[in-house]
Amino acid sequence: MTCDFLPLAAPGVRTLQPYQPGKPESELRREYGLSEIVKLASNENPLGPSPKALVAVREALNGLARYPDGNGFDLKTALSARLNTPMATLTLGSGSNDVLELAARAFLTPAHEAVFSEHAFAVYPIVTQAIGATARIAKAYPPDHAMPYGHDPAAILKLINDRTRIVFIANPNNPTGTWLKTAELQALLAAVPESVIVVVDEAYGEYVEADADCPNALRWLDRFPNLIVTRTFSKAYGLAGLRVGYAVSHPQVADLLNRVRLPFNVNSLALVAATAALDDLDYLERSRTLNRAGMRQLQTACRTLGLTWLPSVGNFLCVNVGRPGREVFVELLKRGVIVRPVDNYGLPDFLRISIGSQAENARFIEALGAVLKG
């Protein structure tokens, strides 16, 4: 008997392309028998987790037979104090991807549309299509723009109509690294009708330097009640493996997100680790300093190799390798270096490199030099 379940799947799911994660080290080890592997493929923190988070996790291990606090009281209390926002504005998620999906489930239906840019983060089309809603893709800025391949607010606004329920903005965007500057994002928020939810995804917010003019969108929550700002502990806070992120929004929006949230979506180790990491300001500062130095190291090396890159305020750099990025990616794999091809994001000649430790960056630079020469 032959089975065909495809016609049984929900319409949006039939054509859905699954998220392609960075290649895990263990997989490269299995495939190539390599031992010394450098992974700069998923924008993880090269420092590892905060020591304070590790202590908190060890202390929480004996409590694993219990369900976590389904309301995340301690973490919300800490976030509320740090961000100066009422507890009722906070929604916790298993990573911020979870929160992005909550927004889609709370506001989208098959009759509605979500708008986001070309080259934007891959989770937006997934959560939109999985609901059966329609994704409307705005043209990005052209390659010769000051913010090449970046979000174009005018193109986004043009796609908004009566069916639009959500606009997704990644600021800065992954994989490009580009961002909307303060005046640009503020003008966009002001131009979007109040009946359209705007999700500003600030997964890399902690890395942004003041002189970049890349805004912290929390400042606009009072002014724009249709705004949802999402953040994560996966990047600068070094807890990608535990899965914890959050949204800040109008309390009524938070209440709606909470209605579709599954019980206990954030596990108990993630809750205590995030609470402790939030308190480790020294670790956060070291993460930022390491990133700044690594960014300089990578850009200097790219310049020496005659390569260009996209502007970035994140912990990664999107580099034009001047030939199919996927080929360079495979050659780097053979040398034990994992980076991220971004052809699936419409950037076939680019590779996205996460900023690693000084030594990891040096390994990548050496391998890239060899590949490009060979």
- Pick the stretch among 25-33, 227-235, 270-278, 336-344 that binds ligand PLP (CB under 6 A): 227-235
DSSP helix, strand, coil percent of the chain (3-state; round to 5): 45, 15, 40
- Pick the stretch among 44-52, 177-185, 219-227, 228-236 that binds ligand PLP (CB under 6 A): 228-236
Q: Does 91 bind ligand PLP (CB under 6 A)?
A: no
Contact mark string toward ligand PLP, 308..337, x via CB under 6 A: ------------------------------
Q: Which residues pair with 307 in a beta bridge?
A: none
- Nearest CB to ligand PLP, comparing residues 42 and 299: 42
Q: Does 92 bind ligand PLP (CB under 6 A)?
A: no
Closest contact distance (angstroms) between CB of 7 and ligand PLP is 31
Q: How far is CA 143 from the centre of its chain?
A: 22
CA distance 297 to 249: 37
* Binders in 121-140 for ligand PLP, by CB under 6 A: 121
Kindly provide the b/e burial profile for residues 214-249, where b requires at least 16 CB atoms within 10 angstroms of the residue's own CB. Answer: bbebbebbeebebbbbbbbbbbbbbbbebbbbbbbb
CA distance 341 to 329: 6
Q: How far is CA 238 from the centre of its chain?
A: 13
Q: Does 174 bind ligand PLP (CB under 6 A)?
A: yes
Q: Does 45 bind ligand PLP (CB under 6 A)?
A: no
Contact mark string toward ligand PLP, 191..210, x via CB under 6 A: ----------x-x-------
E strands along 162-226, which residues? 164-170, 197-201
- Nearest CB to ligand PLP, comparing residues 234 and 287: 234
**Prior bond to 175 cis, omega within 30?**
yes
- Nearest CB to ligand PLP, comparing residues 243 and 335: 243
- Nearest CB to ligand PLP, comparing residues 20 and 252: 20
Coil, strand or helix at 179: coil
Among 12, 245, 341, 356, binds ligand PLP (CB under 6 A): 245
